[in-house]
Amino acid sequence: MRVKLLGGAALSLFFWSGAAFAEEGMWLPSQTPALGEKLKAAGLELDPADLGKLNVAPLNAIVSLGGCSAAFLSPQGLVATNHHCVYGSIQYNSKPGQDYLTNGFLAKSNAEDLPAAPGSRVFVIEDLRDVTTAMNKGVTTKLDGLTRFNRLEDNRKALIAACEKQPNRRCDVRPYFGGQSYFLQQQLEIKDVRLVYAPAGGIGNFGGETDNWQWPRHTGDFGLYRAYVAPDGTSVPFAKENVPYKPKAWLTISQKPLAEGDFVMVAGFPGVTHRHWTAAEVRHNFEAVYAIDQQLRADYSDAISKATSGNEAAAIKYASILKGSDNYKKKLLGEIAGADAINLLGRKDAADAEFRQWVAADAARTAKYGKPLADLDALVKEANQARVDNLRLGTLNRAQLLSAAQQLYRWAKEREKPDSQRESGYQDRDRLPVRERLTQIERRFDASVDRKLLEQALGEYRKVDAAKRNTALEAKLDRIGVDALYATTKLGDTATRLGWMDKSAAEFEASTDPFIQLAVAAYAGTISDEQKAKTRAGKMQAARSAVMAGQLAFAAEQGRTLYPDANGSLRFTYGHVKGRARDGLIWTPFTTAEGLVAKQTGKGEFDAPDVAIAKLKARDFGSYVDPKLGTLPVNYLSTVDITNGNSGSATLNARGEFVGLAFDGTLDGVVSDWSYDSSINRTIHVDSRFMLWTMEKVHGAQRLLTEMDAKP
């Protein structure tokens, strides 16, 4: 079903469910005209139309870091995001005797800004346009699954190539509603990103995993990057002569205290949600997949902790990897608990049954949607059977040298083709990102740790039925032996590793390096599995897009509106500063300095710097005290609707001013990846006043406060 998108752009209708909550929705900018009255009623003081414009503030101050969100806070390219979003760069620049993870980092001048971890980017949004017609060129119902997949992929690569003829641009095409529609997102890619400021770990990660996904929270989860460009304004990799990027807009830091009940909105790039998955997919995920996934991640974290215990250098190298694993394993537990709390499976079953009854009640609808629905059911069943196996098979990718060797050999094989025919991720546009990922290994790798992780992964890998494993890889590994893998490989050396990017496939096939030999042996099986996955994906796109057209028609008939699942494109969401009360448990909307001091133990995860604790105990809050609270606010709750990828998203007040950063959710509320429920869903933000207080009182970052025009 093709109609005009709310606000005028051509796209499929977006409907939210009749039982949806006012705060629910990750909205596209082009939907703001139709949401205008709701936004005004909620408290927005800006013209709602401005939220639909990518060339004016506040949206043109919002940026992506390629996994996290962020925003410009100064005319000199200063970028605010979460501490955990810059954590990889803090880790990359740390070593024994220079432990920025613990002590934090502050550049006293631009000359002291540190290069961020290789691969770091700032992406500035420029356009988000409908390309559905171009994507569907040559796509018909007569195509088999693999041909359909390849046709869509060819169309996608052609659109990206045309977009990236503009210099310094990074473009992508993403599906909406399972491929019922497609949008192209165009961004300016800034390649020189530098670390400017990160608070001490005892502030930026105060509470650690104990407090992660919990409330009350007292974490200063923020950090600052700076974007740099060449003197002529072009985007180039790091060079000493580069200068700070001058953004077209930056956010103003609010001077008005934020209070309970205030309107807030978040703009960013949410990653993935599954709110439109079928009931069968959701049920299988929670009944079969998540328990195994959570256990695999827990075992992975334990293996890293054990392998790095007593080795400071190795612990620093694996700190970022371990933090990511710990974060996700706990999130999975929260999703399971949240699903029970809101009866997610019951909700999905009821909604699915209602839709199927609607289809069956009319002959025309049955003719149009019946077969796609049956096809989707069969494909979902097939995909469900593969998901658990793929979790275990994928653990081999945790061995960094094996993963690097496979990527390098695939790079060589793809280079034998014309660029337009290469797989996505292996085209000329991908050379620098691939090189940077391979470079990162040098400060995130320890051979003894990598070996232990490989041995653990092999144990999980071999739990999968032999017919589904890569027998050629296993046979080669058995002949080489794990001891020889690490004793004789040269891939641990960065120069050697990067040198393989320019070697031919024949040189790989003649190599005596054991990891290279493993990669060559595994290649045929990997390609075979990939072709099967593409075939299923092509069939799935045909079925799911048709079923979603039916879901849209069903919702339209009932006067309801759906929004698309998150997919990494720019969205905004709005709500209010609000606590939570459930079954005798009351959460106030703000945490304060007193709560942080009460949690302080001076060791482990609750070890804020002495200077911070001393000033908090002395009530040296400066100008950042809240007049209603009578103290310094640290974190606050809101009802805005976020997910992974929103980390680092700027939180704005009713006037579009900066009032903090979204950085987390509550443990049972993370089920919002599957369904939003205002009774439990809360987003946790770091208050801008705590950010400014920390910069001024703890780390003496007055230079940066002046640059941000943060008035006392």
- Residues with a known catalytic role: 84, 221, 647
* Number of C-beta neighbours around residue 477 at 10 A: 22
In sequence order, what DSSP letters do the residues of 226-286 get, joined into one string? Answer: EEEE-TTS---S--TT-EE---S--PPBP-SPP-TT-EEEEEE------TTS-HHHHHHII
Q: Specify the DSSP class assigned to residue 187.
A: E
CB 138 within 8 A of CB 113: no
3-state DSSP: the chain helix, strand, coil percent, rounded to 5? 50, 15, 35
* Number of C-beta neighbours around residue 336 at 10 A: 19
Interatomic CA distance for residues 375 and 382, integer angstroms = 11
AA letter at 46? L
Interatomic CA distance for residues 123 and 643, integer angstroms = 19
Among 263, 222, 217, 266, residue whose Cα is nearest residue 641? 266
Q: Which residues of 57-85 are buried (b: 16+ CB within 10 A; e: fewer)?
A: bbbbbbbbbbbbbbbbbbbbbbbbbbbbb
Residue the block writes with tokens 């071999």: 462
| Crossing angle for the helix pair 514-557 and 400-414, to the nearest 10 degrees | 80
Residues in the chain, overall count: 712
- For 20-63, where are the alpha helices, taking DSSP H only? 32-42
Q: Which residues of 205-238 are buried (b: 16+ CB within 10 A; e: fewer)?
A: bbbbbebbbbbbbbbbbbbbbbbbbbeeeebbee
Interatomic CA distance for residues 535 and 541, integer angstroms = 10
CB 303 within 8 A of CB 456: yes
Q: Specify the DSSP class assigned to residue 630.
A: T
Interatomic CA distance for residues 427 and 160, integer angstroms = 12
Q: Cβ neighbours of residue 47 under 8 Å, at least 6 residues apart?
A: none
Q: Cβ neighbours of residue 572 under 8 Å, at least 6 residues apart?
A: 26, 27, 29, 32, 51, 59, 265, 266, 267, 268
Interatomic CA distance for residues 447 and 399, integer angstroms = 10
Interatomic CA distance for residues 522 and 232, integer angstroms = 46
In degrees and rounded to multiples of 5, residue 571 shows phi and psi of -140, 165
Interatomic CA distance for residues 105 and 98, integer angstroms = 10
* Tokens at 110, concatenated: 């631009």
CB 200 within 8 A of CB 607: no
AA letter at 143? L
Return the ∠ at Cα 54 (arms to 52 and 55), rounded to 5°: 120
Q: Maximum CA pair distance of the chain?
A: 75
3-state SS string over 631-671? Answer: ECEEEEEECCCCCCCCCCCEEECCCCCEEEEEEEECCHHHH
Interatomic CA distance for residues 152 and 175, integer angstroms = 11
CB 397 within 8 A of CB 403: yes
Identify each DSSP E strand in 370-450 by its residue range.
none
- The CA-to-CA distance between both ends of the chain, in Å, stands at 54
AA letter at 167? P
- How many Cα neighbours within 13 Å face the side chain of 501? 19
Among 644, 634, 646, 649, residue whose Cα is nearest residue 687? 634
CB 75 within 8 A of CB 246: yes
